[in-house]
Amino acid sequence: MEKIFNNTEVAFALKNNAELKRAYLLFKMISKPSLVKIGTSLTNFSIQAKLPVKGLIKSTVFDHFCGGVTVQDCLKVVDKMYTKGVSSVLDYSVGGKETEEQFDAALAMTLRTIEFAKERAAIPFAVFKPTGVGRFYLFEKKGENLPFTESEQKEWENVIRRFDTICKYAHDLDVLLLVDAEESWMQDAADEIVLDMMRKYNREKCIVFNTAQTYRWDRFDFVKKTHEIGLAEGFHTGFKVVRGAYMEKERERAAQKGYPSPICATKAQTDATFNKTASYILENLDNKMALFAGTHNEESNYMLIEKMRELNIAHNDRRMWFGQLYGMSDNISYNLAKHQYNIAKYLPFGPVYDVVPYLIRRAEENTSVAGQTNRELDLLETEIKRRKNAK
């Protein structure tokens, strides 16, 4: 198969020379685990001690991995990426909130992003995180079937109301909606609500997409079961399929509490579950399914391209989307767009300090996933050299 992701001219067409060099330096720093560790501790300490580090964070990791502080900031990036056929998903990446006011603010922000998506072809999806609209503890308690106190019950009803308000709005405005997945010990309760939302709002087509983290060995069966329920009850089932971002935490908790780890024993097993789950959905597009494949793994993206070819699925079939995160794997995103595939990048935004946990996850991920940072560095270096030689 033609290795389309090696084309760096297409990958970095939107970056000028200075931006290429800045990205190179950033990935060079991130590639050093000790530097990421120190940087993470220093950042957390500085924020707590109220030291003025906002400017430093903003001009380095924030600007590389985020679209801006506000939706308005992001629109410039959205329009620019769309000139090359790459769409955006506005991702309000503020985590760790605990109060009803904060959850209502996140709800309002999500509704706004749905409106922006409605107005722009460049933004085909909206997205939200379950714990952005409700306390983690409540999801956990619900998932364990423990009884709520009276006030917790009221809070939980608010969580359901927020989910429903977002999904109904997306449905009414005809905007596709992704629901992110988080730690397994809160996910059961979220899955149950999302299933109900699909039941309500996916009657005519797939509007609400749940997320399947395929580092969990039970997720293929989960997707298949959800699909069977959908077929029996007459609604569509959409999934964002990813590998999963909380592996270390999952394994640690399972070991600490003495239950079997929900995570695949090996990377190869995760890869196989990813392939099997994504393939199942592709094979069932005509059977009321839709897929958003969120991955930076080149092999997985090539596998999906090949599978689409085998199944005769048009590159721009609206039931199949590829997805990467802003600031990562531009070689995949821009080359997919060049070949007319549907591709959308998550574009995180929010106040600089509130986005720090997201940024730390990105830095750690790029450090821990051997090969990914080196691949980014190789590609940037190739393009810098290519431009020099082309002069």
Ligand X SMILES: Cc1cc2nc3c(=O)[nH]c(=O)nc-3n(C[C@H](O)[C@H](O)[C@H](O)COP(=O)(O)OP(=O)(O)OC[C@H]3O[C@@H](n4cnc5c(N)ncnc54)[C@H](O)[C@@H]3O)c2cc1C
Positions touching ligand X (CB under 6 A) are 180-181, 211, 213, 215, 242-247, 263-264, 266-267, 270, 294-297, 323-325, 346, 365, 369, 372
Please, what is the end-to-end C-alpha distance for the chain in angstroms? 31
Question: Minimum distance from CB of 248 to ligand X (Å)?
Answer: 9
Closest approach, Cβ 324 to ligand X, in A, equals: 5
Amino acid identity of 240? K
Q: Which is nearer to ligand X, 162 or 345 (CB)?
A: 345
- Which residues, other chains included, contact 144 with Cβ-Cβ below 8 Å and sequence gap of 6+? none
CA 388 from chain centre, in angstroms, equals 35
Query: Is 379 within 8 Å of 52 (Cβ atoms)?
Result: no
Instruction: Report residue 291: phi and psi, to 5°.
Output: -130, 135
With respect to ligand X, which residue has the nearer C-beta, 8 or 131?
131
> And the tokens for 251?
């394994």
Find the shortest distance in angstroms from Cβ 157 to ligand X.
25
Taking each helix axis as running N to C, give the angle between helix 33-48 and helix 17-30, from 0 to 180 degrees, rounded to the nearest 10: 90
Shortest Cβ distance from residue 179 to ligand X (Å)?
A: 8
Query: For ligand X, which is the closer residue by CB, 46 or 245?
Result: 245
Cβ contact 174:224 at 8 Å: no
Closest CB 246 distance from ligand X, rounded Å = 6
Q: Which is nearer to ligand X, 54 or 253 (CB)?
A: 253
CA nearest neighbour of 356 among 154, 58, 117: 58
Report the residue number whose CB is nearest to ligand X: 294
Closest distance between ligand X and the C-beta of residue 387, in Å?
A: 27
For residue 61, give the amino acid letter: V
Residue 202 vs 211, nearer CB to ligand X: 211
Q: Based on CB atoms, which residue is closest to ligand X, 231 or 272?
A: 272
| Shortest Cβ 91–ligand X spacing (Å) | 9
**Cβ of residue 148: shortest distance to ligand X, in angstroms?**
26
C-beta closer to ligand X: residue 171 or 296: 296
378 burial class (0-12, 13-18, 19+ CB within 10 angstroms)?
middle
- Contacts of residue 113, defined as CB under 8 A and 6 or more positions apart, other chains included, come to 71, 90, 92, 123, 126, 127
Q: Which two tokens stand for residue 226?
A: 């959800």
The continuous run of DSSP H or E covering 244 comes out as: none
Number of H helices, E strands in the chain: 17, 8
* Closest distance to ligand X from the beta carbon of 320 (Å): 14
The residue type found at 281 is: I
Q: Which is nearer to ligand X, 157 or 299 (CB)?
A: 299
Nearer to ligand X, 55 or 371 (CB): 371
DSSP state for residue 146 in the 8-state scheme? P
Number of residues written out for the chain: 391
